Structures are given as C-alpha cells and as structure tokens.
Structure 1
Amino acid sequence: MKWIDSFLPSLYAALAAGSISALMSIYDGKSVVKTVTGALSCGILTLAIAGSLELFGLPGNSVTFVGATIGFVGAEKVRDKVLALFNRRTDNRRGPGG
C-alpha cells in the first residue's frame, strides 16, 4: 500500500495517457490492435518519463499533465519526434566525412 501511495501520481498519469490515447484512436477510427498498442505505449512511456521530469526542467507534480499530453499526441507522433531527435543528435556527432 505504501508503494501505491508513493507512485499513485505516476500510475494515474499512465492511466490518463492510455485512456486519452485510446479515445483519440477510437475517434480517428483506428483498428482495435492499433488502439490497444498505442494506449499501452503511451502509458508505458508516461511511466518511463515520470521519474525523469526534473531532467526536463519540470516539477514532479506535473506528471499528470505530461501523461495527458502524451496520450493526446499519441504513440505514433511521439515515436516520430523521438526518432527525429535521436537522428538529429547522432548525425551531428559524426562530424565531417561521416
């Protein structure tokens, strides 16, 4: 029970991310498989980010807002943004001549 009490904001944020993602997928007419996997991806991503909010300059109590934002944006767009950031950073490190 103490563990649940400690991590309740993060769990709530993950559930919010998954729920919002699922509702947006249903609204967009996506298949059941894409709806479920997108919702799970958003929930897991929110849990992963929840412990690192201070690295991004956000207070710890903003986890619900971050989760809702991730759910609203959706797993596909978050994946595209992360891959673009990763590719941009790795391309810049290669230097001249690749």
Structure 2
Amino acid sequence: MKMNNNPHDWPDWIVLFQSWWRGETPIGGVLVSILITLLRVAYTGGGVRKMLLEGALCGALTLTAASCMGLVGLPPAATIALGGAIGFIGVEKVRSVLIRVLNQRLGVSDDDDKPQG
C-alpha cells in the first residue's frame, strides 16, 4: 500500500498541529507568542508598526528561550506556555528583567540606574 504524501489532507494537518501543541517543534510556542503579542498591543492601543515589531521580537525571543529549555530542565511541552508568557509580558519587560538579573549576578552596575544630573 502506497503512503499518501498529499500535504493538504486533514490527517496530516492534524498531526502537524498536534506536534506543535506537544512542543515537539517550537513553532507552536512562537505562533502563540506572536498572536498574544499582536492582541496585547492592539488592546493597549499600539499602532500597526509596534504590533509587527513587537510580535517579531517576541517570536524570536520565544524561539531562543525554547532552545534553552532543556538546559534548565523544562519539558518540551512547556513551549506553548513559554510563548504565551513571553507574548503576554512583552519583550521590553523581559529585557529589563534579564538585564537586572544579569547585573545582580555579575555585580555590574547599570548606567540606566544612575540618576541623571
């Protein structure tokens, strides 16, 4: 019996979506991150430019974080949750938290923390 290789069959799409949902490929987390980012920026009154840039940055950050999940002991199934969290929090907040944590760990003072005078 010959295997059906038509990518437009519903069972193939269902298998693809299930693999995304299980975290076998990080694309599910990236898509959730982008979707939540677009909705968050639209809800808070951001423009189309901010929606697209923030969505792309959150998607890229999710892809980067998903590749590090094994290093911190998180299962691949947590990719969707990770993408949702990054999309909801936003790339600016994630950046500020990471900079603060790195500065504390490395003992480096940040120039942004100094009062302007």
TM-score range, shorter chain: 0.7 to 0.9
Aligned-partner Cα distance in 1 for 2:85–2:99: 18
Aligned identity (percent) is 31
Aligned-partner Cα distance in 2 for 1:33–1:24: 14
Aligned-partner Cα distance in 1 for 2:24–2:73: 21
Which residue pairs with 1:11 in the alignment?
A: 27
Deviation at 1:38, TM superposition (A): 0.9
**Amino acid corresponding to residue 46 of structure 2 in structure 1:** K
Q: Is the 8 A contact 2:24 2:77 kept in 1?
A: no
Using the size of structure 2 for normalisation, the TM-score is 0.67
Using the size of structure 1 for normalisation, the TM-score is 0.79
Deviation digits for residues 43-92 of structure 1 (CA, Å, limit 9, x no counterpart): 00111111211222211111111111111111111111111112212226
Higher relative contact order (CA 8 A, sep 6+): 1
Match among 45, 66, 76 for residue 82 of structure 2: 66
Aligned-partner Cα distance in 2 for 1:24–1:56: 28
Q: What runs of 5+ residues in structure 1 fail to find an aligned partner? A: 93-98
More helix by share: 1
**Amino acid corresponding to residue 83 of structure 2 in structure 1:** G
Paired residue total? 90
